[in-house]
Amino acid sequence: MKRRDFLKIATGSAGGAAAIGAAGARSSSTSAAVQEGEGNNTTSGNGTTGNATTDGSGSGEGEELPGAGTTKTVEVGPNGQNVFDPETVYVQRGATVEWVWRSPGHNVHATDVPEDADWDVQTEITGPEFTYSYTFDGPLGEYHYVCDPHEALGMVGNVVVNESGQAPGGEGGEAELHPEEMGVPFQAHFVGIATILMMIVSLVYAFFVLKYGESQNASAPNKE
């Protein structure tokens, strides 16, 4: 094979690999958009959810809040750990947060909330199958809470109510999320890895051919 022919093949391979990677990225973006559109379970406002009664205050009558119909879940003591998972939840006004007990001996106690906010819950110290939910239709800001028995061990949590319902990106960027959290199928990772490997192999092979030349027996005699 002549050097010129090889370079054409190598260039075509790299281009094909890049096209595959782009297609995988578009597929991943579509999957993420579908998952985001599905949203979470809806709630029925400030009524009773699970085994606990919410006590949130209502917003203005007839006011449509941007987070209405959205529910985010916080696990209380998952795998026997003294933590809230996730520790910080970002929601829009009108969204509901549901706490689900995964191990015994925990509670949710609101300790520091924005001015004029009505969230002052202190649930009983209990365990599974207990759940508690609250619709955050009050002022924007940070709502801090703790588990009373394990506060000293760092079992604290936060609900941040903001306009976007997302974590701030910092320096004007968006918050970094794990691909699976964005709905990217795990198979798409293999597409990206395969694309990079194909490009590296093509470049390394091209380097050696250009540096050391082609074999005298690689092409037919008298062929240009």
Alpha-carbon 165 to chain mean position: 13
Per-residue pLDDT tens digits for 34-80:
333 333 333 333 433 444 444 444 445 567 888 899 999 999 999 99
pTM for the full predicted model: 0.52
| Residue 102 CB-density burial (10 A; 0-12 exposed, 13-18 middle, 19+ buried) | middle
CB-side neighbour CA atoms (13 Å) of 142: 10
Give yes or no for a contact between 101 and 128, defined as CB atoms under 8 angstroms apart.
Answer: yes
How does strand 88-91 pair with strand 52-53?
A: unpaired
Give yes or no for a contact between 19 and 12, defined as CB atoms under 8 angstroms apart.
Answer: no
In the predicted model, what is the mean pLDDT of residues 80-109?
Answer: 97
Per-residue pLDDT tens digits for 133-162:
999 999 999 999 999 999 999 999 999 999
Per-residue pLDDT tens digits for 102-138:
999 999 999 999 999 999 999 999 999 999 999 999 9
Name the DSSP letter for residue 129: T
Alpha-carbon torsion angle 99, 101, 105, 111, nearest 10: -10
